[in-house]
A = this chain, B = another copy of it.
């Protein structure tokens, strides 16, 4: 293992003091799965009545824990979550399936629930068997220590190549009662739309039924976790789950069973905002990242077309290396628009870095100034806008630069 990478320069300067969420208690442990001298297991206990929703990788070769969670989601309730870092238990064949079964049994015993109410996520190396006996004893001991915080500890236990933990929180009105949403996430490489090696767990005390949670989560992920990319590589393990304990009902919060309920508006916005904040934190911790790049495509034929063009730009190694080199190489953006395969007319394109228009009507802007543009490229946060000039389609995605450190981190990972 190479020396740990230094903390990303894009890391948050401070962390929110995420409040307790009634019905959610957790603790972390050092199970020694791969890492030494750090926590690598997060065990969360959820009170009876907790409902659950989830969104998973679209990979055709998902990990055993993803298969397990998908199957358990059907019954809609959750009592425990086991997350480990260091080993993804992915492409481990029959052994991998046995591992999640045994882990589910160990966790169910420790939590006092049924195995199908246990959700499992694993992140780390792919293709190495994960011995479920690592959890035997550990989960029972951890269950004895659970507490409603601190959330930062939960975020730390699930890190792999992350250089900082990721926590976000919101408080929002639901039918006249304040409810809380907390989320943690991990992910730094193999990040692409469709949720690359990214794990995120979001919790609320709002009393919201599982199908409503699922509808909000599926919608919210499109403009947050599915709008980020570090390296275009989709993982086999992506997992985003939302747990609602419902305990704000004790304060009078209404139980919501219809996704069209008007009282959900504030909650839905807060959830999407929290997911976006977590997703951006993941990009800002992109392996080797030193720049955060926001790419907005306007004027495309549709929002979907705008998204495909934006991702083509965001995934272009040539665009990303140019950003790393603080080079306002908008020609590479043109090339990335061209290769997206979406309707685009060279002679209608306009491109901005920050507020500076560098290209218009298929050519360099007459007022183009290398010096002014270079100043923008020196910033940590670089907004790029591309107007296609054909319609009203619009989408924003976020990515980071591609640096030598990315190559170093990923060339040495297993050794």
Contact = CB atoms under 8 A, between A and B. Distances in A.
Nearest to A319: B233
Contacts of A332: 126, 233
A362 B91 contact: yes
A61 B232 contact: no
Nearest to A402: B407
Nearest to A403: B407
Contacts of A125: 331
A406 interface: yes
Nearest to A408: B404
B410 A321 contact: yes
Interface string A307-349: 0000000011110011011010111101111111111111101
A335 B331 CA distance: 31
A371 to B, nearest CB: 13
A94 B366 CA distance: 13
Given A318-B190, A332-B126, A334-B236, A327 B415 contact: yes
Given A325-B410, A334-B90, A346 B61 contact: yes
Interface in A191-217: 192, 194
Contacts of A93: 347, 361-364
B61 A327 contact: no
Contact of A234 (B192, B338, B415): B338
A15 interface: no
A127 interface: yes
A318 B410 contact: yes
Nearest to A321: B410
Interface residues of A, number: 74
Given A61-B346, A332-B126, A335-B59, A322 B359 contact: no
A47 B192 CA distance: 52
Contact of A329 (B58, B337, B413): B413
A235 interface: yes
Contacts of A232: 232, 315-317
Interface string A110-153: 00000000000000011111000000000000000000000000
A177 to B, nearest CB: 42
A407 B410 contact: no
A231 interface: yes
B233 A364 contact: no
A36 interface: no
A399 B346 CA distance: 29
A211 to B, nearest CB: 27
Interface in A220-235: 231-235
11 contacts: A62-B338, A90-B334, A91-B346, A94-B362, A126-B331, A127-B363, A234-B335, A325-B413, A327-B413, A329-B414, A403-B411
Given A194-B339, A327-B412, 16 more contacts: A61-B335, A91-B364, A92-B363, A94-B362, A94-B363, A126-B329, A126-B335, A127-B330, A190-B335, A231-B318, A233-B339, A234-B339, A236-B335, A317-B406, A321-B406, A407-B407
The 3 closest A-B pairs by CB, nearest first: A126-B331, A325-B411, A93-B363
